[in-house]
Chain A
Amino acid sequence: MPAPFRIVFEQRAETPKYLSALVPLISVLAALVAGALFLTATGYSAMDTYKNMLDDGFLTYRGITETLGLSTVLICTGIAAAFSFQMNLYNIGGEGQLYLGMIGAAWAGLALGPHLPSFVMIPLVLIIGSLAGALWIFVPAFVRARLGTSEIVTTLLLTYVASSLLKHFINTPNSFFRAKNVAFPQGRNVADSAALSPIGDTRLYPTFFVVVALALFLYWLVKKTEFGYRIQVIADSPRAAHYAGVNANKTTIAVMLMSGALAGLGGATLIVGPFARLDQGITLLGYGYAGIVVAALARNNFAGIIVSGILFAGLRVGGEKLQISTDTPKHIGVMMQGAILLFALGGEAFRRYKIRAVRMKAVAQ
């Protein structure tokens, strides 16, 4: 017997403003409720877990400054992902470009650092890190524009190559990047002139403000300039863009290089900030992949990414401390990030479509 009802999706001509604000909020709440049910089912206290995460991630001085510090790199990889995603280019190799950003920045900090003063070195390290990130996406960008090779796969593959490269630079005896006279292989600290000090007694570095300003600048660039308009036209209709004389190939390459550079910048902020050296621990942290989630939750809105970047950083920081404050495994933090995005993706349908159940008879088959 056929189902008496059919679910019908009607595309909304215009999304009401209240829905745009409400849907992400309800998604986050729904994920929290689901998480609470899961915690209770597995025998942990949901109240304690959430309270501790909230305190350690957002409400204490230490917590919030650490969250803002961590959000620096997440906002970077977030705007990196969003910059390409908004043009339907899926650079999911931000993780690898971040590694290259670290390698480039560490090279600059080690090779040039001893010879240059800090006010030259810091910008230089950030720029070289960004260039290294852009370099890492050049081949995917070029073959995507020229041959149509899927950037999803190429950028992903290069992430693994980047990870091997990073480990090679740290593990090879006599490597330029490797610390001397240390039994366990680890990176060599960059020169003092290439390292920033955190603000006060926190783990927040001034790069946070640079990155926030950059996100706001990109918001303006995409909404208000001719370059941003071109990206929108190509994203909406590549054919129309072609007839309007927009050079899609050139824009494709430019957008992807920018995306790679932003992810590379994220890696460089780690070198001038909390890491100060190449560290293969980065390959376990997944900051590059997290950027995609941050961008998706903000629906590629650059100003929104600042908010979602801070939210996700808080979940991580709060999650990390859980094992000290409660007996809940810290991985609930990572799990909640995934859950929030899954719910947000589901909620997105309600924002874009009017979803109704109609009687079968009413639908012409």
Chain B
Amino acid sequence: MNSNIWLLSFADSVAIATTLILAALGALFTERAGVLNLGIEGMLLTSAITSFLVADSTGSVWAGLLLGIILGAVLAAIHALLTVVLRANQIVSGLALVIFGTGLANFLGKPAEGKTIKTTIEPMSFGPLSDIPGIGPVVFGQDIITYVALAIAVLASWFLFRTRAGLEVRATGDDPATVDAQGLSVATIRIRYTLLGGALVGFGGAFHMLGQSAAWHLEATTNGVGWIALSLVVFAGWRPIRLIFGAILFGFTLQLPFTLQAEQITFIPSALMPMLPYLATLIALIALSRPSSRNILGAPKALGIPFVRDER
């Protein structure tokens, strides 16, 4: 067994995990406020191509990142307008966004097809720390966005569970009627966190493009990462800290087929490997939805249900 391959692949899974953490945190904030946005995949793609085009024409990855974040928020605004203001079905609106976003991204990306971007986000260097054998490349060899994403996740956990505003978000997802009775606007809170969530998803999409892929490929760039992010939120029980570990686990499983191939380990057919994270999530989900353990999972109780005061 070549320990170098394993270390490199672990460092790789942290990179995949970064996109997952950002996108899933976006979904987590949105869902904590009671809005289900299934459109993540479409938003990721649109932000990815936007960041690519902007970074390519301006030569600045930061401009690319910024525009990617904005596009994520803009698409989330469509979802918020339809579902919170106009009370449309959240599931259908999210899926419409996936299809719209996929089409839009591929439309905009046509001139860039197969092109590689020149400026990408480089891994940070902590000098001698990054050269420590073993943990060096994994802990100190990532790019800055990875550390930012981890910081955001920790902050999100503190915000949701230790601040009054965070309590209001969670209450809006669990029991909007009470929030409304407290004199707060359910709609405002939901719109605000749907937009914040969209911005985070956009951040993830832009990072995915500028930090990892570096080339725009038709129809395959994000490769279902958006859907994985949605499963990850469930897997993590809507908790940001658990989400970090879940993302690393998912990231590791996603690139494991390549590592096993390099090691020529074939006891599990490599085509079946990618299904493991989904099966694990599925089993966890079913096991945790027994009445006795439902609190461990902790899904927002009003998730996906439009809040309508007049009809109560």
A interface residues with partner B (beta carbon < 8 Å) = 7, 9-11, 42, 90, 92, 139, 143, 147-150, 152-154, 156-161, 164-165, 167-168, 171-172, 284, 286, 289-290, 292-293, 296, 329, 331-339, 341-342, 345-346, 348-349, 352-353
Q: Given the interface contacts A157-B278, A345-B82, A348-B88, does A335 sit within 8 Å of B285 by beta carbon?
A: no
B86 partner residues in chain A, CB cutoff 8 A: 345-346, 348-349
A289 partner residues in chain B, CB cutoff 8 A: 95, 98-99
Residue among A11, A42, A157 having the largest count of chain B Cβ atoms under 10 Å = A157
Q: Given the interface contacts A342-B82, A345-B93, does A335 sit within 8 Å of B275 by beta carbon?
A: no
Partner of A158, one of B228, B272, B282, B310: B282
8 further contact pairs, Cβ within 8 A, besides A42-B107, A160-B275, A349-B88: A148-B289, A154-B285, A157-B281, A160-B278, A165-B272, A286-B99, A341-B99, A345-B89
B278 partner residues in chain A, CB cutoff 8 A: 157-158, 160-161
* Majority secondary structure of chain B interface residues (helix, strand, loop or mixed): helix
Q: Given the interface contacts A11-B310, A349-B86, does A154 sit within 8 Å of B286 by beta carbon?
A: yes
B99 partner residues in chain A, CB cutoff 8 A: 286, 289-290, 293, 334, 337-338, 341
Nearest CB on A from B279, distance (A): 6
A345 partner residues in chain B, CB cutoff 8 A: 82, 86, 88-89, 92-93, 96
A336 partner residues in chain B, CB cutoff 8 A: 103
CB of B7 within 8 A of chain A?
no
A353 partner residues in chain B, CB cutoff 8 A: 87
**Considering the chains assembled together, what is the distance between the CA atoms of A180 and B86 in angstroms?**
55
A293 partner residues in chain B, CB cutoff 8 A: 92, 95-96, 99
Q: Are B275 and A332 in contact (CB under 8 A)?
A: no
**Considering the chains assembled together, what is the distance between the CA atoms of A332 and B291 in angstroms?**
46
Q: Are B227 and A171 in contact (CB under 8 A)?
A: no
Q: Are B290 and A147 in contact (CB under 8 A)?
A: yes
Nearest CB on B from A89, distance (A): 11
**Considering the chains assembled together, what is the distance between the CA atoms of A270 and B207 in angstroms?**
38
Q: Are A335 and B107 in contact (CB under 8 A)?
A: yes
Q: Are A335 and B234 in contact (CB under 8 A)?
A: no
Q: Given the interface contacts A289-B99, A337-B103, does A296 sit within 8 Å of B89 by beta carbon?
A: yes
Q: Are B234 and A329 in contact (CB under 8 A)?
A: no
Query: Residue-by-residue, is B107-145 near A (CB-CB < 8 Å gives 1, otherwise 0)?
Result: 110100000000000000000000000000000000000
Q: Given the interface contacts A154-B282, A154-B286, A334-B106, does A164 sit within 8 Å of B100 by beta carbon?
A: no
Q: Which residues of B from 209 to 238 have beta carbons under 8 Å from A?
A: 219, 224, 227-228, 230-231, 234
Q: Given the interface contacts A90-B91, A164-B271, A292-B95, does A342 sit within 8 Å of B100 by beta carbon?
A: yes
Q: Give the 7 A-B CB pairs with smallest separation, nearest first.
A: A338-B100, A335-B103, A334-B103, A168-B271, A338-B99, A349-B86, A331-B106
B interface residues with partner A (beta carbon < 8 Å) = 36, 38, 42, 78, 81-82, 85-89, 91-93, 95-104, 106-108, 110, 219, 224, 227-228, 230-231, 234, 269, 271-275, 278-279, 281-282, 285-286, 289-291, 299, 304, 308, 310-311
**Considering the chains assembled together, what is the distance between the CA atoms of A164 and B273 in angstroms?**
8
Q: Given the interface contacts A153-B231, A154-B282, A337-B99, does A329 sit within 8 Å of B107 by beta carbon?
A: yes
Q: Are B107 and A331 in contact (CB under 8 A)?
A: yes
B234 partner residues in chain A, CB cutoff 8 A: 150, 153
B87 partner residues in chain A, CB cutoff 8 A: 9, 349, 352-353
Q: Are B285 and A153 in contact (CB under 8 A)?
A: yes
**Considering the chains assembled together, what is the distance between the CA atoms of A352 and B219 in angstroms?**
37
**Considering the chains assembled together, what is the distance between the CA atoms of A329 and B109 in angstroms?**
9
Q: Are B275 and A147 in contact (CB under 8 A)?
A: no
**Considering the chains assembled together, what is the distance between the CA atoms of A159 and B281 in angstroms?**
13
Q: Given the interface contacts A154-B286, A161-B279, A171-B271, does A346 sit within 8 Å of B82 by beta carbon?
A: yes
Partner of B88, one of A139, A157, A346: A346
Q: Are B224 and A160 in contact (CB under 8 A)?
A: yes
A150 partner residues in chain B, CB cutoff 8 A: 234, 285, 289, 299
A148 partner residues in chain B, CB cutoff 8 A: 289
B289 partner residues in chain A, CB cutoff 8 A: 143, 147-150
A149 partner residues in chain B, CB cutoff 8 A: 285-286, 289
Partner of A341, one of B85, B92, B107, B282: B92
Q: Are A338 and B96 in contact (CB under 8 A)?
A: yes
